[in-house]
Amino acid sequence: MSRQASRGTESKKMSSELFTLTYGALVTQLCKDYENDEDVNKQLDKMGYNIGVRLIEDFLARSNVGRCHDFRETADVIAKVAFKMYLGITPSITNWSPAGDEFSLILENNPLVDFVELPDNHSSLIYSNLLCGVLRGALEMKRSPDLGPGDMEVLGVSIRKEEAEGMCGSGEERRG
């Protein structure tokens, strides 16, 4: 009985570390393939984007979340449903712009950086940049069909002060 239980715990622990470890191996490989941190950041963003456009379908199928009526709802769904489902954390939503078209997500405990130490020669590396691409890809797929092509764009998702605050992300929306 106790042997079964400890087996389950081991599996669970390994399972949750698999993604973190694989991500670490990926970033290490990209740092070898590309000469500078900027290119690695771009590559992570691009890969994240490709993942995001597929992930959104998986998310909608599993979460039963309905259509978001405004950007605040979108922010809530991202932080409280999506991040919880995929990374087991709930970032806090802060820093709303006066126009309500920009916000920040703060990750207190970023699971991607578990066991990770960045060497000094990679000061421009945005380690978690994949997450930005994922958000960008997912949001772009689900912008409202009622809006015209120029009416809403996810202009940027960026990470600021990664070390101090975890991740900050902002999406921008323009209504026609």
Partner 1 sequence: MADAALFEFLHTEMVAELWAHDPDPSPGGQKTSLSVLKGMGFRVGQALGERLPRETLAFREELDILKFLCKDLWVAVFQKQMDSLRTNHQGTYVLQDNSFPLLVRMASGLQYLEEAPKFLAFTCGLLRGTLSTLGIKSLVTASVAALPACKFQVVIQKA
Residues forming the site for partner 1 (CB under 8 A) = 6-7, 10-23, 25-26, 28-29, 33, 43, 47, 50-51, 54-55, 58, 85-88, 111, 115
- For the purposes of burial, counting CB atoms within 10 Å of the CB of 105, is it exposed (0-12), middle (13-18) or buried (19 or more)? buried
Q: Which is nearer to partner 1, 103 or 169 (CB)?
A: 169
Rounded Cα gap, residues 38 and 159, in angstroms = 13
Provide the minimum distance between the beta carbon of 141 and partner 1 in the complex, in angstroms, as a whole number: 14
Q: Which of 128, 173, 122, 138 is nearest to 152 (CA)?
A: 173
Provide the minimum distance between the beta carbon of 101 and partner 1 in the complex, in angstroms, as a whole number: 28
Task: Give exposure, 145-162, as e/b (b: 16+ Cβ within 10 Å).
Answer: eeeeeeebebeebebeeb
Q: Which is nearer to partner 1, 14 or 65 (CB)?
A: 14
Q: Is-contact 102 170, C-beta < 8 A?
A: yes
* CA atoms within 13 A of residue 7's CA, in its CB half-sphere: 4
Provide the minimum distance between the beta carbon of 134 and partner 1 in the complex, in angstroms, as a whole number: 9
Residue 51 tokens, joined: 């993942």
Q: Which is nearer to partner 1, 25 or 65 (CB)?
A: 25
Q: Which is nearer to partner 1, 7 or 161 (CB)?
A: 7
Provide the minimum distance between the beta carbon of 62 and partner 1 in the complex, in angstroms, as a whole number: 8
Provide the minimum distance between the beta carbon of 120 and partner 1 in the complex, in angstroms, as a whole number: 22
Q: Which is nearer to partner 1, 33 or 73 (CB)?
A: 33
